[in-house]
Amino acid sequence: MLLSGGVDSSTCLALAARDFRCHALSVRYGQRNARELSSARRVSEALGAVEHRVLDLPLDWIPGSALLGPEVAVPRSVDGQTPAPAPPDGVPVTYVPARNSIFLALGAAWAEALDTPHLYIGVNRVDYSGYPDCRPAFIEAMERALRLGTRRGDLLIHAPLMELSKAAIIRRGVDLGLDYGLTWSCYDPVDNDRACGLCDSCLHRKRGFAEAGIPDPTRYA
Amino acid sequence: MLLSGGVDSSTCLALAARDFRCHALSVRYGQRNARELSSARRVSEALGAVEHRVLDLPLDWIPGSALLGPEVAVPRSVDGQTPAPAPPDGVPVTYVPARNSIFLALGAAWAEALDTPHLYIGVNRVDYSGYPDCRPAFIEAMERALRLGTRRGDLLIHAPLMELSKAAIIRRGVDLGLDYGLTWSCYDPVDNDRACGLCDSCLHRKRGFAEAGIPDPTRYA
């Protein structure tokens, strides 16, 4: 399963771990928020994943994404609640080109090597940042393509959080015993311990905890 | 465009270079035949690619492929003409799980960053090794998935060699001035200069040149 160390993928691992012995894959792709990788490690240990692999695949030679370098700033909310305006096409500058396509293809490769059809991804189309590679039509098309492009031919991409609100996801995770203090959402950390509280990802997280009526364990700057 | 440095992808670059300023992508994925990467470099220079990028993405933690480590031997023809027998499902042990899916996703990311819809891949379904990720249905499905999973949404995967025999591909490349002495096909090189002459890839290459009536510049062991 694909694990970034954020709320969604960590909850997805908690769900998958009920039914499977899980192998978790994270990618060090040059993300500004590489802090999430140590969270992924802790989450995978806490949830008893049998293996956590961090793949080095620097993508920071790809220009234009706010997550891939200091050239483009991560948009910040002015009041800590209203998201910063997105570009006209609705895709924010934190978009990383084809990221989930790359990750799903890598996950499919590993699933095939592990001789399983099951691949989990924590994408969600309700409380998300507007990335095209989080939508159901994309996941379905990718499943079809990866079936055709692998030997087994029976890949199943599970996206169990697709239709849940962030609050519902958090409630689910708490029910499953997930400690969200281990997870990391912020795109633009102030330091290794403190989230900015103003990026899109912090806003989704804060609102999710507020709506769920569950205290947010995050340290915000 | 995706460039391995073999006959097909090199010819594909020669074709694409007639119409486009080409950016070529190769991947150092832990292949036994990493020798192909220096061929890719020379081919991209000879054909005037504006850029050749070699991405480090070790996949040799994925077990089971003869191309990804010494554990599984590359099958060899006994007589230098008849291919070694393939497994019952027709997919040889040199198959690398989801390789073209990973490469196409990476190519789509770069294409999007370069702000172009065009992505070339030199796959071919006539004289090929039986890999599932070389078939037209896979390429079509992947194009659709990558359109849905990227911001532009208009990716075009060009696979101009899909229906050509190896001999036809070689004739085409020679017409375009490609020096096949720069290319590399062998899966299991004897040393840095000599191909084994017995692996599937050498057999396809040898037969292609023979059928095209063009001398094969390869040094075979």
DSSP A80-146: SSSPPPPPTTS--TT--TTHHHHHHHHHHHHHHHTT--EEE----SSSS---GGGSHHHHHHHHHHH
Say how far apart CA A45 and CA A53 lie, in whole Å: 12
Closest to A152 measured CA to CA, from A109, A191, A190, A122: A109
pLDDT, tens digit (0-9, with 9 covering 90-100), for B143-202:
999 999 999 999 999 999 999 999 999 999 999 999 999 999 999 999 999 999 999 999
Specify the residue for token string 């962030």. Answer: A166
Report yes or no: B90 at the A interface, CB cutoff 8 Å. no
Over residues B78-105, mean pLDDT: 93
The minimum CA-CA distance between A27 and chain B, rounded to whole Å, is 11
Q: A125 phi and psi, to 5 degrees?
A: -105, 5
H or E, element range at B23:
strand B23-28
Of the two residues B87 and A121, the one the predictor is more confident about is: A121
Say how far apart CA B13 and CA A188 lie, in whole Å: 40
The minimum CA-CA distance between A139 and chain B, rounded to whole Å, is 8
Distances (CA, A) of B70 to B33, B34, B65, B96, B202: 11, 13, 9, 14, 19
Enumerate the β-bridge partners of residue A24.
A52
Terminal C-alpha separation, chain A: 31
CB-CB neighbors (< 8 A) of A110 in chain B: 62, 97
Q: Which two tokens stand for residue B150?
A: 């990227």
Helix A99-113 vs helix A136-148: angle between axes, to the nearest 10 degrees? 40
CB A20 within 8 A of CB A118: yes
pLDDT, tens digit (0-9, with 9 covering 90-100), for B8-42:
999 999 999 999 999 999 999 999 999 999 999 99
CB-CB neighbors (< 8 A) of B110 in chain A: 62, 97
Say how far apart CA B124 and CA B121 lie, in whole Å: 9
Instruction: Please give the distance of CA B208 from its chain centroid, rounded to a whole number.
Output: 15
Interface touch A62/B91, C-beta < 8 Å: no
CB A183 within 8 A of CB A39: yes
Concatenated DSSP letters for A180-215? GGG----SS-SSSS-B-S-SHHHHHHHHHHHHHT--
pLDDT in tens, chain A (221 residues): 999 999 999 999 999 999 999 999 999 999 999 999 999 999 999 999 999 999 999 998 998 899 998 899 999 999 988 999 888 888 999 999 999 999 999 999 999 999 999 999 999 988 777 899 999 999 999 999 999 999 999 999 999 999 999 999 999 999 999 999 999 999 999 999 999 999 999 999 999 999 999 999 999 99
CB-CB neighbors (< 8 A) of A62 in chain B: 109-110, 113
Least-confidence region, from A154-158, B62-66, B114-118: B62-66
Closest to A127 measured CA to CA, from A174, A185, A87: A185
pLDDT at residue number A127: 75
Closest to B7 measured CA to CA, from B188, B206, B196: B206
Q: Which two tokens stand for residue A77?
A: 């909310």
Say how far apart CA A89 and CA B37 lie, in whole Å: 38
Measured between CB atoms, which of B59, B63, B138 is closest to A148? B138
Say how far apart CA A105 and CA A88 lie, in whole Å: 29
Vertex A48, ends A146 and A150: CA angle to 5°? 10
Measured between CB atoms, which of B102, B112, B141 is closest to A106? B102
Q: What is the mean pLDDT of chain B?
A: 95
Report yes or no: B146 at the A interface, CB cutoff 8 Å. yes
CB neighbours of B194 closer than 8 A, spacing ≥ 6? B219, B220, B221
- A171-188: b or e for each residue (b if 16 or more CB lie within 10 Å)? bbbbeeebebebbbbbbb
Interface touch B97/A151, C-beta < 8 Å: yes
Report yes or no: A141 at the B interface, CB cutoff 8 Å. yes
**pTM for the model:** 0.97
The minimum CA-CA distance between B100 and chain A, rounded to whole Å, is 8
Interface touch B57/A55, C-beta < 8 Å: yes
Above 80 in pLDDT, residue B127? no
- A79-117: b or e for each residue (b if 16 or more CB lie within 10 Å)? eeeebbebeeeebbebbbbbbbbbbbbbbbbbbbbbebb
A&B contacts, CB < 8 Å: 131
Instruction: Please give the distance of CA A177 from its chain centroid, rounded to a whole number.
Output: 19
Class in CATH terms, B7-73+98-185: alpha beta
Report yes or no: A71 at the B interface, CB cutoff 8 Å. no
Report yes or no: A118 at the B interface, CB cutoff 8 Å. no
Q: Which two tokens stand for residue A66?
A: 């706010």
CB-CB neighbors (< 8 A) of A106 in chain B: 98, 102
Q: Which among B54, B72, B106, B119 is the top mutation candidate for probing chain A, defined by the most A β-carbons within 10 Å of its own β-carbon? A: B106
Model confidence at B72, pLDDT cuts 50, 70, 90, reads very high
Say how far apart CA A73 and CA A81 lie, in whole Å: 18
Superfamily of domain A7-212: HUPs (3.40.50.620)
Query: Hey, which residues 50-69 in chain A have their CB within 8 Å of chain B?
Result: 53, 55-59, 61-64
Report yes or no: B88 at the A interface, CB cutoff 8 Å. no
CA-based nearest residue in chain B for residue A61: B110
